[in-house]
Every structure is written in C-alpha cells, then in structure tokens.
C-alpha cells in the first residue's frame, strides 16, 4: 500500500518511484528521506513505509521536526519500530543569530549543548549554507 504524501513534502525515492514499487519493496526502503524547504529527515537502513500517512506523521517546520506529533491520532510505536528509529535530520535556513555573527564557534558550542540536552547528537553546522545536521537514536525521548 503506497504511503500518503502531501504535495508540500518530497521523498527519496520519489512518489512516482514509490507508486511503482511492490509491497515488499515498500516494506524495505533503503535510506528513506522526506523533506521540504525547512528540513530533511533520513532514516538510515531499511524502513517500512507501507500505508503510512506521512503528512500526519511527520511535521517539518522552521527549526523543528516532529515525528509522531501530539496531533497524530495514533500512539508512537516503541523505539526501533515504525519511524521511531535512528534518523539524521538536516535543517535548512538555520542562520547564525546576529549576536553571534563574529563568534561562530561560540554559537556552535551553544548548538551542541542544546541538542545534547534533547538527546540528539550534533553532527555539523555549515555557516555558509545555513545548514545544521543532527542525529537521533529515536523520537521517544525528544
């Protein structure tokens, strides 16, 4: 069963490719990604996306990502199941605040501290691309 993907979200593989896949292929998508102008979430390894309503299950906002948000009608599965698993999150348009413009290393230290407190691992921040990358083991503890 093909997942439901609203027009404001894009995926890798594309919706066209997903629509041509068998049930078995949809149950084993390698390194599935979903993104918009704000962020990209990549699930390393195999992910089963059969029948999921990805527009309800994933919210990609400016500087925020929610997987199984409070507004979602079903319970979050236990860690390691469904989309509640390891993910790499890249935020776009994450500009350095003006008070840190000449203190990028201080800002990066602040980001590392912030994401560590959220049980996320800081991976990198690219000032010129305004791109921040973190990873999480699952979304249960966020």
12-22 in b/e form (b: 16+ CB < 10 A) is: ebeeeebeebe
CA distances from 80 to 31, 54, 77, 85 (A): 15, 17, 8, 4
Tell me the per-residue pLDDT of 37-74, one tens digit each, with 9 for 90 and over: 999 999 999 999 999 999 999 999 999 999 999 888 67
Indicate the domain borders of the chain. Answer: 10-136
Mean pLDDT for all residues in the chain:
94
pLDDT band at 104 (very low <50, low <70, confident <90, very high): confident
CA distance to 8, 68, 116, per residue, from 75 (Å): 24, 8, 25
Share of the chain above pLDDT 70, in %: 99
Contacts (Cβ under 8 Å, ≥6 apart) of 43: 31, 32, 33, 83, 85, 86, 87
Tell me what pLDDT residue 109 has: 94
CB atoms within 10 A of CB 109: 12
Contact of 66 with 59, CB cutoff 8 Å:
yes
On the question of a cis peptide bond just before residue 13, with omega within 30 degrees of 0, the verdict is yes
Asked if residue 141 has pLDDT above 90, the reply is no
CATH topology for the 10-136 domain: c-terminal autoproteolytic domain of nucleoporin nup98 (3.30.1610)
């Amino acid at each position: 069963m093909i997942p439901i993907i609203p027009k404001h979200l894009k995926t890798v593989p594309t919706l066209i490719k997903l629509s041509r896949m068998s049930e078995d292929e949809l149950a084993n998508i390698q390194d599935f990604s979903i993104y918009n102008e704000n962020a990209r979430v990549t699930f390393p390894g195999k992910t089963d996306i059969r029948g999921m309503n990805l527009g309800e299950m994933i919210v990609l906002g400016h500087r925020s990502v929610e997987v199984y948000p409070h507004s979602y009608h079903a319970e979050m599965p236990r860690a390691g199941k469904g989309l509640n698993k390891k993910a790499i999150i890249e935020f776009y348009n994450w500009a350095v605040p003006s008070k840190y413009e000449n203190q990028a290393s201080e800002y990066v230290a602040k980001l590392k501290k912030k994401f560590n407190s959220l049980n996320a691992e800081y991976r990198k921040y690219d000032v010129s691309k305004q791109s921040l990358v973190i990873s999480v083991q699952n979304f249960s503890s966020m």
